[in-house]
Amino acid sequence: MKEIVRFGHRVWILILLLVFTGEFSFAGPPFLTDDPDPVPFGHWEYYLSSENSFDIRNHSATGTLPHFEVNWGAITNVQLHLIVPSSYLFNTPNELSYGYTFTELGVKYRFIRETAKVPEIGVFPIAEVPTIYDSRFGKEYLQVYLPLWIQKSWNKLTTYGGAGYWFNPGSGNKNWVFTGWEVQYDFTDFLTLGTEAYFHTASSKGDNSVTGLTLGGFLNFSKYIHFIFSVGHTLSGANQVTSYAGLYVTI
């Protein structure tokens, strides 16, 4: 009976978050680089966030406003993943497009657990499924991401990273590779700060490879409520500023 009550409680929380929730997120918030650490068995993670990329050269912006993400520890070492994004695209002077176009689904599987000498290692295949086609945003075809992630911790210091391959079909598109590495430190129970460096090859014809640097962190208001944020800038291949801000709830 207690298990039924707890399950019902979780369902109502999920429904409420969906009700109050109005492109791209394929990583470990608030960074682009992910980790192999799944949500513990029977637990949940919820994010209500906005992720943005500002192209300084072209005076344009794209991102999510907002997106809802939920992760569930389905079994030991396995996490199920869902993102429902409301996407926008802004071009000067006043051209603004807004809508829902794709749904992101994934499964994180950790096949090596961390020990004193061995890092944890896992995979996190993700599929971005076209849901409502809108030519302004693309996403006409199924996109699949196949990454491998590694993580090691020493007390308050944690570092993780890896690489993955994106299958990106469509006219003018190219399959592409992403690789990144992040380091973070728990300064206090309230504050965690981190930085990441990343690189990805061109995702469409005529584009260039990009390298970038991101700074971000966590404000831990309690064991369950967190505010997460990051800001970054590309170092080569583009002139873009990226940002992420969101409410993160763990149960």
Tens of pLDDT along 142-160?
Answer: 999 999 999 999 999 999 9
How many CB atoms within 10 Å of residue 244?
A: 24
Concatenate the DSSP letters of all residues of 81-113 into one string. EEEEEEEEEEETTTEEEEE--EEEEEEEEEEE-
Q: Is the pLDDT of residue 238 over 80?
A: yes
Is the pLDDT at 234 greater than 80, yes or no?
A: yes
The pLDDT tens digits for 109-122 are 999 999 999 999 99
Measure the CA–CA gap between 194 and 91, rounded to whole angstroms. Answer: 31
Residue ranges making up the domain that contains 183: 2-250
The mean pLDDT value for 237-243 works out to 93
pLDDT bin (cut points 50, 70, 90) of residue 13 is very low
For the chain, the average pLDDT equals: 89
- Burial of 183 by CB count in 10 Å (0-12 exposed, 13-18 middle, 19+ buried)? middle
Beta bridge partners of 71: 45, 81
Q: Phi/psi zone of residue 233: left (φ > 0), alpha (ψ -120 to 50 degrees), beta?
A: beta
Task: List, as one string, the DSSP characters of 150-173.
Answer: EEEEETTEEEEEEEEEEE--STTB
pTM of the model: 0.86
Mean local confidence (pLDDT), 42-62: 94
Confidence check: pLDDT of 184 > 80: yes
Query: Residue 245: pLDDT above 50?
Result: yes
CATH of the domain at 149: 2.40.160.40
**Can you give the pLDDT at residue 201?**
97
> What does the alpha-carbon distance between residue 50 and residue 85 come to, in Å, rounded to a whole number?
9
Structurally, how many domains does the chain consist of?
A: 1
The encoded tokens of residue 247 equal 């409410």
